[in-house]
Amino acid sequence: MTECLVATTTRLERYRMTMDQIRGEEYPMMATKTYLDHAGTTIPAKSMLKATYEDLVSNLYGNPHSEHNDSVRTSRKVDAVRRQTLRFFKADPAHFDVIFVANASAAIKLVGECFRDASEKKKKGFWLGYHRDCHTSVVGLREASKGRHHCFKDDRDVNQWINAGAQFNRDARRQRSKDQLGLFAYPGQSNMTGRRLPLSWSENIRASHLQDNMYTLLDAAGLATSCQIDLSDPRRAPDFMTVSFYKIFGGPNLGALIVRKVAGDVLRFQKDFGGGSVDMVISMGATWHAKKSELHDRMEYGTLPFQSIIQLGHAFNAHQKIYGSMDAISKHTTSLTRLLYRALTSLRHSNGRNMVVVYNDVQDYAYGNALLQGGNIAFNLIDQDGYLVGYTDVEKRANDYNISIRSGSLCNPGGFAHYLNWSPEEMKRAYEAGHRCSNPTQLMNGKPTGVVRVSLGAMSNVTDVDKFIWFIRNNYYNMATTSTARSHPIRHHNSCNNLGMYCDKAVDSATETLRSFDLASSSSEDDPIKTLRARVSLAQLHRPSTARSWVGNQFSKLNSRSKMPTKIAA
């Protein structure tokens, strides 16, 4: 690359070391890679791996179910890491407990099983409400509910349910008897778009008419990667929170269920049990058992993955040493996400048509606000004629450039249906026609069956963004697709890509285009912003089609000056 595509003057959050030092010392495995799939897993730090190795070759750790010294050492280590986990989320051990599990999906499944068993004991079934943007693992809980369940279509739908009381709950799917268990589940951050959802819902539900027997589950697997989750006030915290540590630290392959202790009683109804979770079991002549009293002891079956838990302790230490705080990571990733979003949405073909359509329900100012948006961007590419480029084709092409991204429906069925405009009937027909999430048909009925997702992490840098934008510009600028399975030309969509998409809505296209130019800078003496503003008259703004054509031609002239995209200012 001969030119930097993204301005590096942005004030990124400073860590304790420079980003070059961090990448060179801690992440040598990234030297030849552009890794942009941090929502899948982030990259483990070298110092964390080294500390784990040195610990395990220097100390002997036994099975914690034994009582010899090596086992006692393990038990103490596990207890210390459990406390360390709570400190990481600013949770008081007096009010919260940690149950170690395989991953966030396992934690979600555990909650569902406990609610199923508790509701069967009361012979009522439990009610499940879940947000449209939930991960597949959360949606799967409805199969355990054996009762009423409801998918909330958006945030407004949730807020109406919380605030409007019985008048809003005429829909039988929303109704539940007062003594029926209820569970409301939602993601802290969409694993598809990166949009961050309100964290106030748990507190609001407790203050509403729904409070009796209604519990909340926060899937924080995505949110925890680049956000300081603060559980210091148990009154505002969710009853259950799930995390996957490999998404935060790159390892170990371990997750946790963080439980508000006052909500822990519902978990005690779990019917089955395993080794280490009971104080006494009768296997012959009777079917009696007594579970342990501590919540985490009775919920963790068999021998804990103690070596992974030991590694988790070193992950906490290395993470704090490298980055200082989650707040610093949040500021860093937010700045990079803003740069990436602006760069993507400024890419245009020579005819003025956008090269990218971004899927989200937020305005463009959200990219730069950590309360509203995380480090994910979901999008599709558009060719010069307005047709979609296959998303798996983009991922495969990126592999040729040592760029790691994710494509598909991303285990987010609600987001897939909403943003790509698929009805339930259409999804069933697509399945019957052979489409599978794991073996997709990229375009069906003129519509995409997935997206491209780029996600940033703590150790991402401007060069990563720069290389990815260059990759798109180098491979897809003025491209015309040749596939016989073309989509319909992109004319409208239900997401908020507010940088001048060609759509048949009552939008002033010229104004939108000028707004996008506010993000552009030029090294030439003639400022394109001033030129455009001087030439686009009020009359043209009242004739969007004329103005759109004129502005597109002007942009083509600007864009043709270089084979590289316009530089993007912070």
- Residue pLDDT tens, the chain, 570 long: 333 334 333 445 568 789 999 999 999 999 999 999 999 999 999 999 999 999 999 999 999 999 999 999 999 999 999 999 999 999 999 999 999 999 999 999 999 999 999 988 777 789 999 999 999 999 999 999 976 899 999 999 999 999 975 455 555 445 666 678 999 999 999 999 999 999 999 999 999 988 789 999 999 999 999 999 999 999 999 999 999 999 999 999 999 999 999 999 999 988 888 988 888 999 999 999 888 889 999 999 999 999 999 999 999 999 999 999 999 999 999 999 999 999 999 999 999 999 999 999 988 889 999 999 999 999 999 999 999 999 999 999 999 999 999 999 999 999 999 999 999 999 999 999 999 988 999 999 889 999 999 999 999 999 999 999 999 999 999 998 765 456 655 543 434 443 333 332 323 333 444 444 333 333 333 444 444 443 443 333 333 344 444 444 554 444 444 333 333 222
pLDDT at 507: 31
pLDDT at 180: 85
* 203 neighbors 235 (Cβ within 8 angstroms): yes
pLDDT at 529: 42
Q: How far from 12 is each of 27, 249, 332, 334, 521, CA to CA, in Å?
A: 19, 20, 5, 9, 19
411 in active site: yes
Long-range contacts of 75-81 (CB under 8 A, 24+ apart): 77/306, 77/309, 77/310, 77/313, 78/304, 78/306, 78/309, 78/310, 80/313, 81/309, 81/310, 81/312, 81/313, 81/316
Q: How far from 315 is each of 16, 41, 150, 254, CA to CA, in Å?
A: 17, 14, 38, 12
User: Helices 509-517 and 528-535, interaxial angle, to 10°?
Assistant: 160
Asked if omega into 234 is within 30° of 0 (cis), the reply is no
Tokens representing 275 are: 């080794």
Within 13 Å, how many C-alpha atoms sit on residue 394's CB side? 31
Residue 535 to residue 158: CA distance in whole angstroms: 47
pTM, 2 dp? 0.83
Q: Which among 411, 437, 496, 503 is annotated as catalytic?
A: 411
Q: Which residues contact 349 (CB under 8 A, 6 or more apart)?
A: 355, 383, 384, 477, 478
* 183 neighbors 215 (Cβ within 8 angstroms): yes
Residue 316 to residue 312: CA distance in whole angstroms: 6
Tokens representing 214 are: 């209604």
pLDDT at 115: 96
Residue 188 to residue 385: CA distance in whole angstroms: 37
- The residues facing 99 across adjacent strands are 257
Tell how strand 278-281 and strand 127-131 pair up: unpaired
Domains for the chain: give ranges and CATH numbers.
Answer: 91-274 (3.40.640.10), 330-559 (3.90.1150.10)
DSSP string, 43-66: PPPHHHHHHHHHHHHHS----TTS
Residue 217 to residue 170: CA distance in whole angstroms: 24
Residue 345 to residue 500: CA distance in whole angstroms: 9
